């Protein structure tokens, strides 16, 4: 029996440990004997939960023991960048997506037929607001592929908060089969988030790319974008309008072009989207706004590198200017080369104004 429970728990964790790892996560505080696991979005078993962030789970000591009063008693928290806009209906949708994906992956991994795993359903009846928290109560029915291999009904409490200080959304789920008036629910009083959401750590998320190529390419890309940001920061605000000749772009225009084209080229050539350029007036933007725009463009390409599959990397595309046919993997080098071309020009602008540009390292 212990081996069976251990196998089920390992399958549970395997479902989460897809290609992402988290570092220094500390969202939920719980008793020392509650197991703790942390995972990164996107979760392979539930890709429709298109969030950026982390999940932290806490398991009661008896959560895997069918004879324990703590059977299936656990909590998990989502700490994400994406607006969630929770309603009862939205929660029902998210919960069903989550548990359907989880039970299908674990169940079929144990040799069960997909058709034999009943779809999970969720119903949320009550919603209240206490201070900044939204509070919900509901019920979830799912096929317990882990232990009993039969339908199980869980009661669930959810609380949600938007943390303005960190621009993060926090959603905490607590589950137990027992009714809400059972003493077991008192244990969740010891499973809490920090009283002040600003005290939550903003954990660094290390996402491991899915292919050998992108694992190799990611550090090259990260070095390129960090050096570009260093050049952008080196130029003083009052010189962002500098241009060496009448026909040249201003420094601000070079940086804005890098920002917008990085995302454009990634979408067009790496992802195969039909997309047109975005025209922004750099003269109306501050240095801080331009750097934020650059970070946004870089972050988009970084996420694509982290999540793209080998099948898409092997697809072919036609480059706009040269008409050369290349793989989408090769197109990533074009994205970087284009950035390096305009960064090199901007680097010269910095030096022409008597400022030592950032040292190039590799």
pLDDT score recorded for residue 275: 87
Delineate the domains of the chain, giving CATH numbers in brackets. 2-205 (no CATH), 209-352 (1.20.120.450)
pLDDT score recorded for residue 83: 80
Q: How many CB atoms lie within 10 A of CB 66?
A: 12
pLDDT score recorded for residue 4: 42
Q: How many CB atoms lie within 10 A of CB 353?
A: 15
Query: For 153, what's the count of Cα atoms within 13 Å in the CB-facing half-sphere?
Result: 6
pLDDT score recorded for residue 27: 85
Tokens of 176: 């137990």
The interaxial angle of helices 212-234 and 287-307, nearest 10 deg, is: 170
Instruction: Cite the DSSP H helix spans in the chain.
Output: 2-16, 88-109, 212-234, 251-265, 287-307, 310-313, 328-352
- Gap between the Cα atoms of 179 and 351, Å rounded: 70
End-to-end CA distance of the chain: 54
Please report, in tens digits, the pLDDT of each residue of the chain (362 residues total).
Answer: 444 444 444 555 555 444 444 444 578 889 989 999 888 888 888 988 988 888 999 999 999 999 999 999 999 999 998 788 889 999 999 999 999 999 999 999 999 999 999 999 999 987 898 888 899 999 999 999 999 999 999 999 999 998 887 788 999 999 999 999 999 999 998 888 865 666 665 445 567 899 999 999 999 999 999 999 999 999 999 999 999 999 999 999 999 999 999 999 999 999 999 988 889 999 999 999 999 999 999 999 999 999 999 999 999 999 888 899 999 999 999 999 999 999 999 999 999 999 999 887 66
Q: What is the DSSP string of 67-136?
A: TSTTTT-EEEEEEESS-----HHHHHHHHHHHHHHHHHHHHHHTT--GGGSPPPEEEEEEEEEETTEEEE
Comparing CA positions, the residue from 27, 361, 334 lying closest to residue 173 is 27
pTM > 0.85: no
pLDDT score recorded for residue 21: 46
pLDDT score recorded for residue 168: 85
Comparing CA positions, the residue from 301, 296, 288 lying closest to residue 233 is 288
């Amino acid at each position: 029996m212990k081996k069976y429970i251990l196998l089920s728990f390992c399958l549970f964790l395997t479902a989460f440990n897809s290609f992402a790892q988290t570092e220094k996560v500390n969202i939920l505080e719980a008793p020392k004997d509650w197991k703790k696991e942390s995972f990164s979005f996107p979760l392979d078993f539930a890709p429709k939960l298109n969030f950026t962030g982390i999940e932290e789970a806490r398991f009661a000591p008896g959560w895997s023991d069918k004879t324990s009063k703590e059977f299936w008693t656990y909590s998990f928290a989502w700490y994400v960048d994406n607006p969630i806009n929770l309603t009862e209906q939205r929660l029902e949708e998210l919960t069903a997506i989550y548990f359907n994906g989880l039970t299908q992956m674990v169940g079929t991994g144990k040799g069960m037929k997909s058709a034999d795993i009943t779809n999970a359903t969720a119903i949320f009846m009550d919603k209240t607001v206490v201070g900044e928290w939204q509070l919900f109560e509901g019920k979830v029915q799912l096929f317990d592929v882990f232990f009993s291999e039969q339908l199980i009904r869980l009661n669930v409490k959810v609380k949600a908060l938007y943390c303005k200080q960190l621009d993060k959304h926090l959603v905490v789920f607590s589950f137990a089969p027992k009714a809400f008036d059972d003493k077991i629910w008192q244990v969740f009083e010891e499973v809490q988030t920090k009283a002040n959401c600003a005290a939550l750590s903003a954990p660094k998320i290390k996402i491991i790319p899915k292919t050998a190529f992108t694992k190799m390419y990611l550090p090259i890309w990260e070095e390129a974008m960090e050096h570009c940001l260093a050049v952008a920061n080196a130029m003083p605000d009052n010189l962002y309008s500098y241009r060496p000749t009448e026909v040249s772009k201003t420094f601000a225009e070079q940086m804005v072009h890098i920002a917008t084209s990085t995302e454009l080229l990634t979408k067009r050539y790496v992802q195969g989207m039909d997309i047109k350029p975005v025209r922004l007036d750099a003269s109306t933007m501050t240095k801080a706004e331009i750097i934020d725009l650059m970070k946004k463009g870089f972050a988009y390409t970084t996420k694509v590198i982290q999540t793209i599959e080998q099948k898409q990397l092997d697809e072919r595309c036609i480059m706009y200017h040269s008409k050369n046919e290349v793989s989408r993997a090769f197109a990533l080098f074009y994205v970087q080369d284009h950035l390096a071309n305009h960064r090199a020009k901007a680097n010269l602008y910095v030096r022409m104004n008597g400022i030592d540009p950032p040292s190039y390292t590799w």
